[in-house]
Structure 1
Amino acid sequence: MDVVRRNTDYAARLMVYLAKHYGNGPISTREAAAEEDVPYQLACKLMQKLNRANLVESCMGPRGGFTLAREPSKINLLEVVKAIQGPISINRCVLSKYSCSQWRTCPVRSKLADLQKSMDKSLAAITFDQLLRGSQKNNVRNTKRRKQ
């Protein structure tokens, strides 16, 4: 089972594309979907979820589209994960102590809770300006390979 689902990956790629164009006005969903190889209808649904989570803002009109709601450095990957698929959970006992009668004494739960905190902290530390910089480095590497 995937921890980060395919739709969340698509949404993160759309967000990276918006980050790339941050400050240059709205980007159409069609453009972002085509550039990031995301099915258009799915991209529309994902952008609406991101909008409801206040991660993007919609702009109406003939030159409308979406922009990031905040600077790329102020939006993290955990926010996108939660907006698209809800919280990631290592095990249901980590999210709710009431899911198991042994939650107080279970040695497995305490270790899983530590792992959960670590994963959430790691995802929250990844901002879209960092992802954008990584994306640009990969593009440079791919361009160099093609020329050889």
Structure 2
Amino acid sequence: MTLTREGEYAVRCMLELAKNYGKERLSTKAVAAKQEIPPVFLTKILKILIKGGLVVSQRGPSGGIMLAKPPSEITLREVVEIVEGPFALNICLSEAGQCTRKPHCKVHQVWYKAQDAMLKELDVPLDKLL
């Protein structure tokens, strides 16, 4: 899996919101400027993050965006998977994938261990990345 630009921008947006957690809402314009994300692209990403329950937004003069829950309760993996979909190193390890060669495949266990290690690294809460 290669992290797309959309995934990278989502992570940067979430880290910016995590830095500001517990303070006032941020404008999308401010987040876009601080993280050098094209505003139109950020709006698209925010729709996904809001739908995924990670961000809340409020319109109006005192509106803006903020995390829906504390940064300690949101993992990097959660952000990536909401934007990119479930992580799978290959089709055999995907949720829908059925490895027909598993009983005699010599590399299945290697793929599994590699994916497991990656997922453990991604399970870091956002507050640990600040």
For structure 2, the 5+ residue unaligned runs are: none
Measured against aligned partners, the alpha-carbon deviations of 1:47-101 in whole angstroms (never above 9, x if no partner) come to: 1111111111111222211110111111110001011111222111111442x42
1:117 is matched with 116
The alpha carbon displacement at 1:113 in A equals 1.1
1:89-128 matches, within 5 Å, as 89-95=88-94, 96-98=96-98, 100-124=99-123, 126-128=124-126
More helix, by proportion? 1
The C-alpha deviation readout for 1:25-65, integer Å capped at 9, x for no partner, is 21111110111000000000111111111111111222211
Equivalents in 2 of 1:94, 1:12: separation in Å? 24
Corresponding residue for residue 60 of structure 2: 61
Distance in 1, matches of 2:97 and 2:113, equals 14
Q: TM-score normalized by structure 2? A: 0.91
Identity of aligned residues (%): 36
TM-score, structure 1 normalization: 0.81
Which one has a bigger Cα radius of gyration? 1
Q: When the two structures are aligned, how many residues end up with a matched partner?
A: 129
Question: What is the aligned-residue RMSD (CA, Å)?
Answer: 1.4
Q: 1: distance between equivalents of 2:102 and 2:39?
A: 44
Partner of 2:16: 17
Larger relative contact order (Cα-Cα within 8 Å, sequence gap ≥ 6): 2
* Counterpart amino acid of residue 25 in structure 1: E
Which segment drifts farther, 20-29 or 36-45? 20-29
Structure 1 contact 3–88 (Cα < 8 Å) conserved: no
Is the contact made by 1:12 and 1:80 (CA closer than 8 Å) also made in structure 2?
Answer: yes
SS of structure 2 residue aligned to 1:90: coil
- Does structure 2 conserve the Cα–Cα contact (< 8 Å) formed by 1:22 and 1:68? yes
